[in-house]
Amino acid sequence: MTVTHVSRRAAVSAPSNVDQVALEVSAVTRLLEAEGILDYSGHVSARIPGRDAFAIQIGATSRAEVAPETMLVVDRAGTVIEGEGEPPSELPIHLEILKSRPDVAAVLHSHMELAIAFTMMDGVTLVPMRARASRWKSGIPTHPDPSHIKFKEQGEARAKTLGRHHAALMRAHGLVRVAESARALFIDAVHFKENATAQMQALQAGAKPLPLTDAEIAQIERMEMRDWHIKKLWNYYARKGLKEGVLPREWTDALVPSKEMMRRERMV
């Protein structure tokens, strides 16, 4: 894919929403790397409010060192409109999913080995096992193209496989997941890994996995408080990342929820 660049405005004049999205994507990327969901490859994108554009890291930047200054702003045509550097080669994954899914604000592409294993076993499908996996009740399809998704046509086919779902695997390659925010994307990634681990453990024990039933999923969702749950887990992982040096201390005020924000006003 050919990437076009236009002149970048000075950083001091960048809109605050660009700064915040760049920081959120940077933090999410570092935390995903720390949790073993990203490694030397993979990437996160997030829409910029008020603009038909999204933020994504420079492709060559280490996922453990992503920072706002290593982020690019890309428009829906794939043109880099802010930042210096090349985006990831698989930019079409993000472009075409964000075009086809207006409900999605953030996209993750990763190569998590545990997830890839489910595309390489005959007769085995990744299914909702853990309670939080009700998020994927509609299914987790597998895209048949195992190669790098570098061209528009590939990206369109990848978006078609994802369809209305929140996650899809890629045969012998990786996965994509989508969510309503970068923070929600990270929390879902944690639960996606937990769920895949649970199913793999059942398989390795020689037992037949027992996925959640429709009735169990309905009961889980009656009790669900997604917004609160995302806020609670984000508070934990952001603080953990700050404590362990995964996130710079100067990011604290922008990332850690205040005590007032952590008040739970309802039970369901």
pLDDT of 16 over the 80 cut:
no
Picking from 98, 118, 120, the residue whose alpha carbon sits closest to that of residue 107 is: 98
Instruction: Give, as one character, the DSSP assignment of residue 72.
Output: E
Q: Please check the confidence at residue 265 and state whether its pLDDT lies above 80.
A: no
Task: Give the single-character DSSP code of 78.
Answer: S
Q: Element (H or E) spanning 75, and its range?
A: strand 71-75
> Rounded to whole angstroms, how far apart are CA atoms 254 and 246?
15
Mean pLDDT of the chain: 93
The residue-averaged pLDDT of 230-248 equals: 98
Q: Is the pLDDT of residue 14 over 80?
A: no
Cα distances from 127 to residues 15, 71, 108, 142, 191, in angstroms, run 41, 34, 19, 12, 13
Chain centre distance of CA 43: 8
Average pLDDT of span 34-51: 96
pTM equals 0.92
Given a cut of 60, whether residue 159 has pLDDT beyond it is: yes
The average pLDDT across 130-153 equals 97
**Which has the higher per-residue pLDDT, 118 or 259?**
118
Alpha-carbon span 239 to 260, nearest angstrom: 16
Look at residue 194 and give its three-state secondary structure: helix
What is the rounded average pLDDT of the residues 202-213? 97
Residue 70 to residue 57: CA distance in whole angstroms:
6
Give the tens place of pLDDT for each residue, 71-85: 999 999 999 999 999
- Is a pLDDT exceeding 60 seen at residue 68? yes
What distance in Å separates the CA atoms of residue 81 and residue 205, rounded to the nearest whole number?
A: 51
Residue pair 172/182 in contact (Cβ under 8 Å)? The answer is no
- Residue 221 pLDDT > 70, yes or no? yes
Instruction: Flag whether pLDDT at 27 surpasses 60.
Output: yes
Averaged pLDDT for residues 134-156: 97
- Structure tokens, 140: 């987790």
pLDDT of residue 1: 53
H/E stretch holding 108 reads strand 106-110
